[in-house]
Amino acid sequence: MNNNIEKTKQRRILLVEDNKMNQFVTKRYIESTGNVEVTIADNGKIAIDKLMERDFDLILMDIEMPVMNGFDATKYIRTEMNYSPEDLPILAMTTLRIDGKYPDYGMQDYIAKPVSDWPTAIAKIDACLQKK
């Protein structure tokens, strides 16, 4: 597995995803790459609740989810919780083709699902973490 995420500092990633298989595979891949802890939220509402309890370094956000979708959750995090992209980068992780449109939704990058190229996905995550 790829080993790109810098190890000097513990990083906390919030994975917002309703699909159990994606939760399992994504958490396992990312945690295998470095000093990273992945917390899972099943939808945008749960993500916001978790964000109220503790800080995270980055969010991986699915878009189509029950209860609260990824666009609405991101909007809430940016406008109601006042997290800037510098404080808390959000990467869309979706089967929707939103290439080029993610900045319109307050997101910093985009990972297409199903993920077939984990090294590239990990590099995107690491690039966002390095900017913090």
Partner 1 sequence: MDNYKHIDLSYLELMSDGDADMKGILLDMLLTEPSGEFEKMQKLAAEQNWDELKQVSHKMKSTLPYIGFEELTETNKKIDKMLWERQNSGISEDAIAATVPTLVSTVSELYTKALPELQDARNNLMNLA
Residues that bind partner 1 (CB under 8 A): 1, 18-22, 24-25, 28, 64-66, 95, 113-114, 116
**Comparison of 32 and 39: residue with beta carbon closer to partner 1:** 32
Q: From the CB of 117, what's the least distance to partner 1, in Å?
A: 10
**Comparison of 42 and 126: residue with beta carbon closer to partner 1:** 42
Q: What is the DSSP letter of 118?
A: H
**Comparison of 25 and 123: residue with beta carbon closer to partner 1:** 25
As given in the structure block, the two tokens for residue 25 are: 């595979």
How many CB atoms lie under 10 A from the CB of residue 97?
9
The SS3 call for residue 116 is coil
Place of tokens 């298989």: 21
